[in-house]
Amino acid sequence: MATTAKQPGDRELEQYPRKRQPLIDFGPLGRWFEDRALAIHYPLREFLMHPVDKFSNIFDLMGELTAFLFINQLITGIILAVFYRPTISGAFVSLQDITYVTPAGVWIRGLHVYGASAMVIAIFLHMCRVFWYGAYKKPRELTWMLGVVLLIATLGLSFTGYLLPWNQEAYWATMVGTFMPFYTLFPVPFIGRWVVILLRAGNDLTGATLTRFYTLHMLILPGLLITALTLHLALVVRQGVFFLTEEHTQ
Ligand code: HEM
């Protein structure tokens, strides 16, 4: 009887410590893809299927809630970007159109605006839980440091997003906010003035500031957040979630 000859790549597949049942069985096409994307599939499966400890309370899930809210921000943000015009003459008008004319626009905008506030609350609760449990201690220091990047990116997204409607409230709030590095009780030493100019793309708030904030909001900060979050979650999967019962109650 003829045996099927081994193909290049089969040996790697045999050596891979995989669990054969996929999350969702997409049939032969799904298995073809799975065999070629094991590096993604295996950690993803571990992450999605990791058991939650029976003693866990709601605060253990604040990281997951933050991730969920971030996905909401991504989806609604992409939809808003299709309709938003990042110019001083177009920004306010395009958002009025989104709210009053575009079908479901008011819902998408609402989800994005309230989702941003909810994400800030969730990230703080997540951070408090990690701090309260001491879950940042060895070997999870790097997870915490990446968390600091995530916090800065999240707050940066809220700050830059606030200017985008380009209405009176947005304009003057950003005028005050961008001046803070120079003129507060605790200014940034020596370079405060330059930080203000860097943030505003000049001395005043102009169309150049709007372009700068839009780029930060659309491109730079989400890119930073997605990169840091991938590493953050990779460490969580690798090290396992810290549970109070696991290390503190003996
Ligand atoms: C976009 C923001 C963030 C997301 C989506 C996120 C997501 C997660 C998730 C899903 C976990 C798994 C366990 C859990 O849910 O508690 C986790 C763990 C952890 N996070 Fe975050 N996180 C974020 C921000 C932060 C911040 C701001 C800090 C601290 C400065 C932080 C520090 C940690 C640490 C130390 C762990 C490991 C503790 C454990 O294993 O329970 N994270 N994060």
Using the mean position of ligand 1's atoms as its centre, give its distance from the Cα of residue 123 in Å. Answer: 8
Q: What is the DSSP letter of 88?
A: T
Identify the domain containing residue 156 by its residue range.
Answer: 57-241
Q: Tell which wins on pLDDT, 171 or 45.
A: 171
Task: Evaluate whether residue 137 is within a structural domain.
Answer: yes
**Would you say 83 and 98 are in contact if contact means Cβ atoms under 8 Å apart?**
yes
Q: Which residue has the tokens 């102009």?
A: 206
Q: How far apart, in whole angstroms, are the C-alpha atoms of residue 40 and residue 204? A: 47
What percentage of residues in the chain have a pLDDT greater than 70?
A: 80
Q: Which residue has the tokens 């177009």?
A: 90
State pLDDT tens for residues 43-76. Answer: 666 677 766 666 578 898 899 999 999 999 999 9
Q: What is the per-residue pLDDT for 49?
A: 73
Q: For the chain, what is the mean pLDDT?
A: 87
Q: What is the DSSP letter of 3?
A: P
Q: Which residue has the tokens 């969920």?
A: 68
Q: What angle do CA 152, 154, 158 make, to 5 degrees?
A: 115
Using the mean position of ligand 1's atoms as its centre, give its distance from the Cα of residue 163 in Å. Answer: 28
* pLDDT at residue 29 is higher than 90: no
Task: Evaluate whether residue 43 is within a structural domain.
Answer: no
Task: Evaluate whether residue 121 is within a structural domain.
Answer: yes
Closest CA to 85 of 204, 208, 214, 223: 214
Task: Evaluate whether residue 84 is within a structural domain.
Answer: yes
Q: Is 67 in the pocket of ligand 1 (CB under 6 A)?
A: yes
Q: Is 70 in the pocket of ligand 1 (CB under 6 A)?
A: yes
Task: Evaluate whether residue 42 is within a structural domain.
Answer: no
What percentage of residues in the chain have a pLDDT greater than 90?
A: 64
Q: pTM (2 decimals)?
A: 0.84
Task: Evaluate whether residue 24 is within a structural domain.
Answer: no
If you count DSSP H runs as helices and E runs as strands, how many of each does the chain have, helices first?
Answer: 12, 0
Task: Evaluate whether residue 186 is within a structural domain.
Answer: yes
Show contacts of 120-128: CB within 8 Å, 24+ apart. 120/154, 120/155, 120/158, 122/62, 122/65, 122/66, 122/69, 123/62, 123/66, 123/150, 123/151, 123/154, 125/59, 125/62, 126/59, 126/62, 126/63, 126/65, 126/66, 127/151, 128/59
State pLDDT tens for residues 232-242. Answer: 998 987 887 88
The CATH number of the domain holding residue 228 is 1.20.810.10
Tally the domains of the chain. 1
Task: Evaluate whether residue 2 is within a structural domain.
Answer: no
Q: Is 109 in the pocket of ligand 1 (CB under 6 A)?
A: no
Sheet strands (E) in 124-232: none
Q: What is the per-residue pLDDT for 184?
A: 79
State pLDDT tens for residues 93-130. Answer: 999 999 999 999 999 999 999 999 999 999 999 999 99
Q: Is 135 in the pocket of ligand 1 (CB under 6 A)?
A: yes
